[in-house]
Amino acid sequence: MPTETRQRQVDRSRETRRKLMAATVECLVERGWAGTTTTMVAERAGVSRGAQLHHFRTRGELVAAAVEHLGAESVLQLKERASRVGGSTAAVVELIADFYASDLFTAALELWVAARTDPELSAVVVPLQARIGRETHRLAVELLGADETRPGVREAVQITLDLVRGLALANQLTDDARRRERLVRHWAQMLEAVL
Amino acid sequence: MPTETRQRQVDRSRETRRKLMAATVECLVERGWAGTTTTMVAERAGVSRGAQLHHFRTRGELVAAAVEHLGAESVLQLKERASRVGGSTAAVVELIADFYASDLFTAALELWVAARTDPELSAVVVPLQARIGRETHRLAVELLGADETRPGVREAVQITLDLVRGLALANQLTDDARRRERLVRHWAQMLEAVL
């Protein structure tokens, strides 16, 4: 097969994956885990069932890949935005909090909750959760310029992430943005004193 | 109808409600929202479908009543335990964190997440969430002996609750107790300094 043709196939295949993953996250956000069927995702993505099955054998695989993909994309976005706002603790904490209060968190939450009572899904989601947790921690340390060898710094970074996760949860049913902003500002001051 | 007979009926009716609510929370924890059908709850509670419908017309009503009931019971338990451990900030924060990392939170989480994509359930859950939020805040203020007129105290109490909510979420798929204990101890020290 000529190189150009092969490259076109690789591109097309990558584009199909990307469409399927984007449609999956949209479905999770709009309809939740129960409403995210492989049929609905294929339709929304404009991809045939055969092509879908070629890329992802099960709903669990598809959904985990989608969340991981979105997570990786969001991390890039977050880094890019962080480089623009400058490195003040308040600005970085606000960025991280907004990152959590996004569709990515909503999609991931659907997945975490469904995995709790679905062993097959859990097998996919538990390692994914651990990986996202580690990466987010590393990114927060980097963005905050935190020196984790100093006492209390590692804990303060972890508290930041657990706090924004709790705040993101409070944002699922109602718009909690004003309260979140106020608490994030307050926490950023406390964190600043520790760092 | 003689008073004694009427009293017996009232007792029996209350006992039926209690059984249905307990079975509902068990179902939510074991099987999640999707697996919590009214038929399964009635069976588990040993209550006829007719009796169940007499008390709760819809699955949403049943489930919201169950979470509210468990919430009220848990608040009583929490107060009782708090009176035994004494009022140190560390002990109280630990109690609150354990309270959140319980079956009540798991059941409530199933409900919050399902309500996000189910308008009928959302109509029941949004006011419930607001009520539980207010009551938990009031209880935390009371247990911590916090003076919210002092600057930063109200925010610190809210941060406590959002933090333990985030920690509880991290505990859904894997046992996160050790990390939680460490962070809770650390936060309690920071909170103590504010209070």
Q: Which domain holds residue A136?
A: 3-194
ipTM of predicted assembly, 2 dp = 0.90
Q: Report residue B194 as tokens.
A: 């504010």
Residue at token pair 């859950």: B125
pLDDT at A86 over 80: no
User: Concatenated DSSP letters for B169-192?
Assistant: HHTSSS--HHHHHHHHHHHHHHHH
Q: Which stretch, A5-19, A41-55, B53-67, has highest mean pLDDT?
A: A41-55
The answer as to whether B126 is a domain residue is yes
Q: What is the pLDDT of residues B73-90, one digit of tens each?
A: 888 888 888 888 777 899
Residue B177 lies in a domain: yes
| CA separation for the pair A113, A122 (Å, rounded) | 10
pLDDT tens profile B140-180: 999 999 999 999 999 999 999 999 999 999 999 899 999 99
A182 band by pLDDT with thresholds 50, 70 and 90: very high
State how far the Cα of B137 lies from the Cα of B133, in Å rounded to an integer: 6
CATH at residue B74: 1.10.357
Say which residues have a Cβ less than 8 Å from residue A82's Cβ, sequence separation at least 6: A91, A92, A95, A143
Q: Does A143 touch chain B (CB under 8 A)?
A: no
Q: Distances from the Cα of A96 to the Cαs of A20, A160, B162, in angstroms?
A: 27, 9, 15
Amino acid at position A130, single letter: A
Query: What are phi and psi for residue B13, nearest 5 degrees?
Result: -60, -45
CA B85 to chain centre: 21
Structure tokens at A158: 């972890």
| Residue B14 domain-assigned (yes or no) | no
Q: Tell me how far apart the alpha carbons of residues A36 and A49 are, in angstroms, rounded to a whole number.
A: 15
Q: In chain B, which residues have their Cβ closer than 8 Å to the Cβ of A161? A: 166
pLDDT of residue B117: 94
How far apart CA B36 and CA B34 sit, in angstroms, is 6
Question: Does a structural domain hold residue B42?
Answer: no
Q: Tell me, what's the pLDDT at A177?
A: 92
Measured from the Cβ of residue A130, the count of other Cβ atoms closer than 10 Å reads: 12
Q: Which amino acid is present at A83?
A: S
Whether B1 has a pLDDT exceeding 80, the answer reads: no
pLDDT of residue B71: 81
**B residues 96..125 contacting A (CB < 8 A):** 106, 109-110, 112-118, 122, 125
Tell the burial category of A55 from Cβ atoms under 10 Å away from its Cβ (0-12, 13-18, 19+). Answer: middle
- Average pLDDT of the residues in B65-78: 84
* pLDDT at B68 exceeding the cut of 90: no
Domain of A20, CATH number, reads 1.10.357.10
Q: At what angle do helices B153-170 and B103-116 cross, to 10 degrees?
A: 90
Chain A nearest-CA distance from B57, in A, is: 23
Q: CB atoms < 10 A from the CB of A48, how many? A: 11
Kindly state whether A175 is in contact with chain B, defined as any CB-CB distance less than 8 angstroms.
no
Write out the two tokens for A142. 């980097």
Per the structure, the count of domains in chain A is 1
